[in-house]
Amino acid sequence: MPRRLLQRGAGAKGPPAPASRRSHPASAPRSPPATTAKPLLRWDEVPDDFVECFSCPGYRRLPCTAQECLASVLKPTNETLNFWTHFIPLLLFLSKFCRLFFLGGSDLPFHHPWLLPPVVLCVREVLLTFAMSCTAHVFSCLSLRLRAAFFYLDYASISYYGFGSTVAYYYYLLPSLSLLDARVMTPYVQQRLGWHVDCTLLIAVYRALVLPVAFVLAVACTVACCKSRTDWCSYPFALRTFVFVMPLSMACPIMLESWLFDLRGENPTLFVHFIENFYRRYFWLVVAAFFNVSKIPERIQPGLFDIIGHSHQLFHIFTFLSIYDQVYYVEEGLRQFLQASPDAPTFSGTVGYMLLLVVCLGLVIRKFLNSSEFCSKK
């Protein structure tokens, strides 16, 4: 077992005795009763896997029971607001999706094929991502191995969500783009670039590869994030932020559409409902990534933001705002999709892909849990 896994005071009820006293056992004071031990520990009293950058006090002891983990969400620890900044959005999205799919928010029954992409994205990916993150933050102090397992599942759920986003883009947003319409792009390329190229084949190849490439990216991102918990990774937060952003590159055609065409004049509906929310969503993501990598504000004043205001909480908040904007323009895309009377999404192209992805991500997590290296920073 790597040295960093040694549990320094993990089972202790309080901080270890000072070094000067440890050198003279005979004069060392008797340990206080367990009932008087302080409930929270400092960074030097917990295993290395628990230590957060620039976070000093506020750590829960290891191991905790499941009941103690649940009770800690109502106590001021360095994980309390990490839980609530995901649990409250989980309830908000659950309420929104119930209205959309079950209480008349859509004219179609929730099991209709045309609703498969938003069901895949909203009900499964969004809710699963928030629920898994809540679970990881609450129960991360059950044991070192369970902590690693929960955060592996958390990484997998984020990759799962990224692929679900691509599925929704593929069916609701990409068909409305002039960029992916050969009748528009072929004369556009000839007039602007002077290239006599038929774009039909290129566009067909792109459409055929979007979902398979997004699938591979989801698996690769999960592998990279799980590897970031091992000793070889010096910058785990930067690596995870990068790989979380990678699947979002599948939405590049939407950005190119707004750059190449005057959407405000040619397609005002797409501009108002999609593009504005799309760019605002990516602005929230940039802000969230900034806090996740920079570790501001706790880097400026270590120990001051351990309970309230540290970067991971801000990362959660801005991530929620990003997902909220995404759900909005996917919902608008659904309305436009239904008005155009398109071909219905297929089960294999939506749920089938997701089930296969679950199997692949499960195999990835199993591999890393069977490895001897399953720790690093959160």
Using CA atoms, how far apart are residues 369 and 64, in angstroms rounded to an integer? 20
From residue 85, alpha-carbon distances to 69, 134, 136 in Å are 17, 9, 13
Crossing angle of helices 252-260 and 276-294, in 10° steps, is 130
pLDDT at 313: 94
Per residue, the 3-state secondary structure of the chain, as one string, reads CCHHHCCCCCCCCCCCCCHHHHCCHHHCCCCCCHHHCCCEECHHHCCHHHCCCCCCCCEECCCCCHHHHHHHHHCCCCCHHHHHHHHHHHHHHHHHHHHHHCCCCCCCCCCCHHHHHHHHHHHHHHHHHHHHHHHHHHHCCCCHHHHHHHHHHHHHHHHHHHHHHHHHHHHHHHHHCHHHCHHHHHHHHHHHHCCCCCCHHHHHHHHHHHHHHHHHHHHHHHHHHHHCCCCCCCCHHHHHHHHHHHHHHHHHHHHHHHHHCCHHHHCHHHHHHHHHHHHHHHHHHHHHHHHHHHCCCCCCCCCCCCCCCCHHHHHHHHHHHHHHHHHHHHHHHHHHHHHCCCCCCCCHHHHHHHHHHHHHHHHHHHHHHCCCCCCCCC
| Residue 28 falls inside a structural domain | no
In 10 A of CB 288, how many CB atoms?
23
Using CA atoms, how far apart are residues 374 and 226, in angstroms rounded to an integer? 8
Total domains present in the chain: 1
| Residue 20 falls inside a structural domain | no
| Residue 66 falls inside a structural domain | no
Range of the domain at 299: 77-369
Using CA atoms, how far apart are residues 43 and 52, in angstroms rounded to an integer? 8
pLDDT at 5: 35
* Ranges of the chain with pLDDT below 70: 1-38, 100-124, 231-234, 246-251, 263-275, 332-344, 372-378
| Residue 304 falls inside a structural domain | yes
| Residue 22 falls inside a structural domain | no
Using CA atoms, how far apart are residues 205 and 115, in angstroms rounded to an integer? 25
pLDDT at 17: 35
| Residue 70 falls inside a structural domain | no
pLDDT at 35: 42
Smallest Cα–Cα separation from 160: which of 113, 215, 86?
215
Q: Whole-prediction pTM value?
A: 0.77
pLDDT at 134: 95
Structure tokens at 352: 């089938």
pLDDT at 232: 60
pLDDT at 260: 79
| Residue 122 falls inside a structural domain | yes
Using CA atoms, how far apart are residues 253 and 184, in angstroms rounded to an integer? 14
| Residue 21 falls inside a structural domain | no
